[in-house]
């Protein structure tokens, strides 16, 4: 028998596990009270990062100072660059980025300081350093020299330049800026909850972020955007899409990029990004892929009632930007580190150790039997 205090819900579905002032999914996704559609349409990622970390949109002076601090922090310790050079080239970028986040803690002068202001400074430095770490590893594994950040470019522009080696145009930069904003924060998702659990033990910010990256790697969370391209590649054409989806559904194959634990009527982030995905497809001459995606989406929605989530259009956007599939989830990290950091700060500021109970399903009390009698 269960009482109200011991209600069990697998996966903690519907359980309120804490309070946050950072974001809400009630009435559409909002960061600190601002609708993500407004932010994606009008703001730069730097403004949104400042908002999530500090609670309010910056003034022009505050934004300029914030951007200056990020530029100053876009340098890696040489020992970390050396460590990234030693990582096997076949290592997944997500694993290299997880290691980089942990290693950066060794050169963080305020690593052990969990005060609000110290955590804020560490968050800014980590936000600036992780794109450089990813760029260094990716460029080295492809036989290219390590990249250098360009102080004249935006955060989104720098991410693209460091990964591709080419100067992105306005549309590409805008597309990256929008995806960074849409991925920046999402309440108590699996990786954010992981970060808060770690932070609740009073572990440091770098430990919490490293754990969050590990949680994000899984295909049921951040890794889903990489699996989306596997689906589109296997389907191949709009003409084959309908039969492929119906066969997959009949065989109970899970099609990644659809459905969401909390968005039952559609992910507002996916709806916003869909138009930009189409624009990039037309610019790059890949409307065939976009049409394939449209057919898949229509069948899944009509047959299963599962609308697409953010991973469905974002994977196509990254593809149109010419980025390798195994960079998709690391790009998620470069954005979500803002939300994770804000949650670590909030947890440390109002801490209570997160320690749930389990519903025991093992045997009843048993007497110990000496080994010679078993």
Residues acting as catalytic residues: 260, 311
Gyration radius (Cα) of the chain, Å = 22
| 31 phi, psi to nearest 5 deg | -100, 115
- What region does 366 belong to: left with phi over 0, alpha with psi -120 to 50, or beta? beta
Q: Residue 2: which of 360, 362, 355 has the closest Cα?
A: 360
| CA gap 175, 45 in Å, rounded | 11
> Does residue 26 sit in helix, strand or coil?
coil
What are 71's two structure tokens?
């530029």
| Structural contact between residues 205 and 122, judged by C-beta atoms closer than 8 angstroms | yes
Number of Cβ atoms within 10 Å of the Cβ of 21: 11
| CA gap 158, 71 in Å, rounded | 10
Residues in the chain: 374
Q: Which DSSP symbol is given to 35? A: E
| Structural contact between residues 150 and 161, judged by C-beta atoms closer than 8 angstroms | yes
DSSP notation for 270-339: HHHHHHHHHHHHHHHT-HHHHHHHHHHHHHHHHHH---B-THHHHHHHHHHTT--GGGHHHHHHHHHHHH
Instruction: Kindly state the helix (H) or strand (E) to which residue 23 belongs, with its residue range.
Output: strand 23-24
Start-to-end CA distance of the chain, whole Å, equals: 34
């Amino acid at each position: 028998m269960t009482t109200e205090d011991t209600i069990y819900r697998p996966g903690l579905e519907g359980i309120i596990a804490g309070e946050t002032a950072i974001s809400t999914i009630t009435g559409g996704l909002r960061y600190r009270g601002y609708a993500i559609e407004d932010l994606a349409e009008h703001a730069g990622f730097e403004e949104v990062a400042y908002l999530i970390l500090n609670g309010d949109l910056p003034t022009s002076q505050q934004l300029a100072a914030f951007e200056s601090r990020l530029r100053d922090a876009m340098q890696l310790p040489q020992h970390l660059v050396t460590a990234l050079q030693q990582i096997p080239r076949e290592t997944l970028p997500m694993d290299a980025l997880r290691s980089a986040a942990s290693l950066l803690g060794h050169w963080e002068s305020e690593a052990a300081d969990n005060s609000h202001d110290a955590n804020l400074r560490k968050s800014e430095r980590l936000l600036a350093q992780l794109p450089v770490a990813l760029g260094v590893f990716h460029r080295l594994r492809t036989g290219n020299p390590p990249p250098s950040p360009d102080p004249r470019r935006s955060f989104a522009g720098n991410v693209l330049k460091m990964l591709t080696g080419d100067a992105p145009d306005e549309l590409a930069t805008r597309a990256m800026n929008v995806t960074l904003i849409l991925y920046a924060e999402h309440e108590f998702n699996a990786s954010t909850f992981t970060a808060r659990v770690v932070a609740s033990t009073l572990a440091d910010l770098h430990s919490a972020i490293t754990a969050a990256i590990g949680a994000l790697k899984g295909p049921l969370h951040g890794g889903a955007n990489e699996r989306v391209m596997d689906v589109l590649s296997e389907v191949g054409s709009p003409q084959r899409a309908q039969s492929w989806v119906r066969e997959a559904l009949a065989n109970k194959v899970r099609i990644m990029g659809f459905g969401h634990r909390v968005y039952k009527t559609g992910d507002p982030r996916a709806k916003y990004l869909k138009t930009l995905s189409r624009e990039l497809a037309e610019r790059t001459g890949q409307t065939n892929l976009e049409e394939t995606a449209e057919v898949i989406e229509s069948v899944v929605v009509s047959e299963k009632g599962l609308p697409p989530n953010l991973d469905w259009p974002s994977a196509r956007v990254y593809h149109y930007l010419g980025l390798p599939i195994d960079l998709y989830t690391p790009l998620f990290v470069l954005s979500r580190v803002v939300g994770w950091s804000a949650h670590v700060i909030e947890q440390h500021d109002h801490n209570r150790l997160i320690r749930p109970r389990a519903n025991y399903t093992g045997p009843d009390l048993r007497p110990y039997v000496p080994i010679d009698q078993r």
